[in-house]
Chain A
Amino acid sequence: MATPSPGPTRRGVLGFSAAAALGIVPDTARAAPDGQITIASHVSLAPTWFDPAETAGIITPFMMLYALHDAMMKAMPGKPMAPCLAEAWTVASDGLSYAFTLRKGVLFHNGEPVTADDVKFSLERYRGASAKTLKERVACVDVHDAERLTIRLNVPWPDFLTFYASATGAGWIVPRKHVQQVREDGHKKAPVGAGPYKFVSFNPGVELVCEAFEGYWRKPPAIKRLVFKVVPDEATRLAALQRGEIDIAYSIRGELADELTRTPGLSVKAAVGSATFWLYFADQWDALSPWHDQRVRLATGLAIDHKTINQALTLGHSHLTNSVFPENFDFYWQPPAPVHDPARARKLLAEAGHPRGFEAGDYYCDASYANIGEVVINNLREVGIRMKLRPLERAAFFKAYAEKKLKNVVQGASGAFGNAATRAEAFVVKGGTYVHGSYPDIDAAFVQQAAETDRAKREAILHRLQQLVHDKAIFAPIWQQAFISGVGPRVGESGFGLIEGFPYTAPYEDLTLKGKA
């Protein structure tokens, strides 16, 4: 099957394939690692990604972490928080301490055992995203013996495990002795971890070579060598895949993805992460702006033909959630599905005083996503909203967006970690980095939820907040974007879609080549 069948829901497919992958492969009866899989990356690999301590709040580093390192607990097939290096944990009734028991006999690549002391060291050494919050709230780490430890907090923090296990790199373990011996620089040049693959060599911006770590606790990887190559141009990645130079090509979009479905032997793999896209009406608080009229904003949403755009640009794999909040976030509220209704859009525009449409000004977007802007603008024209596309080079776009220099309509996007509250803080609530204006009732709801300790009540407030965002048409959501990759004919299990919400192939120890599993 080249494409997942459109019939069952995505979750259904995922659940099934995850179970199959786990069921088919018995942990013991496996041959020694053999063969090589070459992965073409769309972004240049940075050595910081080899070090969990540096994990910034983006998903890309996890592409490397899943290979080289292992975490106390992490997202695994079928489980968003599967016990890995930690075999079990308990939370004290006051919510102030977490006791962990480590898995026995787990080794780092250099042969040393993973101990509770390494866990303490890794948490204390962590300096990536949200490091300050972690430092402030974690009081201390008590190491009882080699396998048991307790993390104590200053204040009850219900989200602690989420932060520790998935949103940051603090729960990914590095060997204290080794790191202190070779110093930080040495560790970055030749990292040692407890993951399924050992570091062999790295050439910045060119390639990373890894080799199977046969002593990996879960099971020895099936593939001997894993090579990550950097191929910046999308078309070149596809060509390399067609030629069999590489086995997996990350990020293949639009018509190139079409070709994947047509070429025998190649297949499309799509994963929906937490990156939502939307139109932001930056001038809606200006009474003189046409966007001040809610009917105009609603009409814009109605004009967008989400389904067709989804089909054309991401082969229908993106999720049309009609929200700027990702559906996989905590406290997510599902708004009604988006509607494409040009007739009603025209009617709304006429009611708002634009019977013949209007010259609607600039439409700003990140140039790397100008392809979305182009088709959206085309949709808007059909109902009479005539806009000019202004694609800005990525760096310049985010600078201008954050400095509130972009006027009129902005095509925004975010794949930041967090929950509904953090997303609202950055994009909806007064004072946020990308907020041009706000509504008092939403701001009040935000303050209220931040002080609420009862989870159910907090959820209710956040649901109301999201409903307000939806009702006021602050944004016209586009989609939660699918990340599409191509897989070559040699690959058996590609690893895509095994872990829900993870765009890259993982876990690496599950990858197989055909006829070798």
Chain B
Amino acid sequence: MTVITPPETTIAPAIRTPRPTAFWRLKGFPLIPVLILVFIALVAIFADVLAPYDPTIGSLARRFRPPFWQEGGSMAYLLGTDHVGRDVLSRLIYGARVSMVVGITAVLVAGGIGTLLGILSGYLGGWADQVVMRLTDTWLALPALTFAIFLAAIVGPSELNIILILGLVYWTRYARVIRGEVLSLKQREFVRLAIVAGCSSRTIMWRHILPNVINSAVVLATLMLGVVIVTEASLSFLGVGVPPPKPAWGLMMADGKKGLLVGYWWLTVMPGLCIMLMVLSANLLGDWLRVKLDPQLRQL
């Protein structure tokens, strides 16, 4: 029974997992992007301490104050105020939290559903594979934003529902990639040995397959983070995103876009910069991880 080599050691050299301690010394390590992501995460965690004002309360009497360096701006509202008179800086700080939470959990939901279905479909084959693959095909044929609008109409808008919607819209990419990985893993020695040794399907999927697809899932996750955050902003543009007055970067951008033509540039440029920095960093990190962890992954 216990003759099987632990899969970890078997596959470690095969996928060239770098030793974690050497991460920062590796060539091309995206130091700046990682620092940016860490910074955003810290801001998100300590938003309560950092933000000077309540991000959801404003007063129409002080709407559209410009940032402090512009004429009419003041040190009281460093980055100005928005159309309801709320402090933009505070909203950006809390917005980091919303964006991080929405982005990461939506990616986890998508990744969770996709990885699970991908493994089931790839490993079990047969009807399970058929069901998952037909479902994926149908899903992919449905325009994502339209799909999201309908889902939003059914479940109603709230932060939680937006997360579920984004997860439900984007799981197919995981399912496809993971299924492909599993199909090739199935041909590998250690999986065959496990089957011969009489391990249950559940054990094999859980103990032998899952650890080996995690790399791909992680790479996909960093790349998907950006897609999810930008989609969340687009949903706000179409009026079905995170509901106001919640401070979310995407919502701030969509709300502030009108101000762009009117000279209230800070309303949309500030959250735009935040989204850009976060998504760009996630993408750069993802690209690097992909090269390091999984050079074979081409469908991304």
Contacts and interface: CB of A to CB of B under 8 A. Distances in A.
Interface of A: 234-235, 238-239, 242, 254-256, 258-259, 305, 308-309, 311-312, 367-368, 370-371, 373-375, 377-378, 381-382, 388-393, 395-396
A367 B258 contact: no
Given A367-B239, A370-B243, A375 B261 contact: no
Interface string B193-213: 000000000000000000000
Interface string B231-259: 00000000110011100000000000111
A239 B158 CA distance: 32
Given A393-B153, A395-B153, A396-B153, A254 B84 contact: no
Contacts of B264: 255
A235 B152 contact: no
A235 B153 contact: no
B152 A393 contact: yes
Given A381-B57, A395-B153, A235 B244 contact: no
Given A305-B60, A389-B243, A393-B240, A374 B258 contact: no
A378 B245 contact: yes
B44 to A, nearest CB: 21
B241 to A, nearest CB: 9
Interface string B80-101: 0001100000000000000000
B161 to A, nearest CB: 10
B222 to A, nearest CB: 31
Interface in B85-126: none
A235 B57 contact: no
A305 B239 CA distance: 25
A234 B258 contact: yes
B88 to A, nearest CB: 14
B60 A312 contact: yes
Given A255-B83, A389-B245, A235 B261 contact: yes
B60 A308 contact: yes
A255 B262 contact: yes
A242 B262 CA distance: 11
B295 interface: no
Chain A residues touching B, majority SS: helix
B30 interface: no
B58 to A, nearest CB: 6
B245 A390 contact: no
A235 B56 CA distance: 25
Interface in B112-158: 149, 152-154, 156-158
15 contacts: A235-B260, A238-B261, A255-B258, A256-B261, A256-B262, A258-B262, A308-B60, A374-B245, A381-B56, A390-B157, A391-B157, A391-B244, A393-B153, A396-B152, A396-B153
B130 to A, nearest CB: 34
Nearest to B57: A381
Nearest to A365: B243
B61 interface: yes
Contacts of B153: 392-393, 395-396
Chain B interface size, as a band, is 20 to 34
Chain B residues touching A, majority SS: loop
A378 B57 contact: yes
B21 to A, nearest CB: 47
Contacts of B292: none
A428 to B, nearest CB: 26
Contact of B239 (A234, A375, A393): A393
Nearest to A239: B261
Contacts of A308: 60-61
B63 interface: yes
Interface string B179-221: 0000000000000000000000000000000000000000000
A367 B258 CA distance: 16
Contacts of A370: 239, 243-244
Contacts of A305: 60
Contacts of B266: none
Contacts of B261: 235, 238-239, 242, 256, 259
Contact of A377 (B59, B158, B245, B258): B245
A282 to B, nearest CB: 15
Contacts of A238: 261
Contacts of B262: 255-256, 258-259
A375 B60 contact: yes
B244 A389 contact: yes
Interface string B261-279: 1111000000000000000
B174 interface: no
A254 B240 contact: no
B244 to A, nearest CB: 5
B42 to A, nearest CB: 28
A390 B244 contact: no
B258 A392 contact: no
Contacts of A374: 84, 244-245
A371 B236 CA distance: 13
B64 interface: yes
A390 B156 contact: yes
Please list the 3 inter-chain residue pairs (A to B) with the smallest Cβ-Cβ separation, ordered nearest first: A396-B153, A367-B239, A259-B262
Contacts of B149: 393
Contacts of B258: 234-235, 254-256
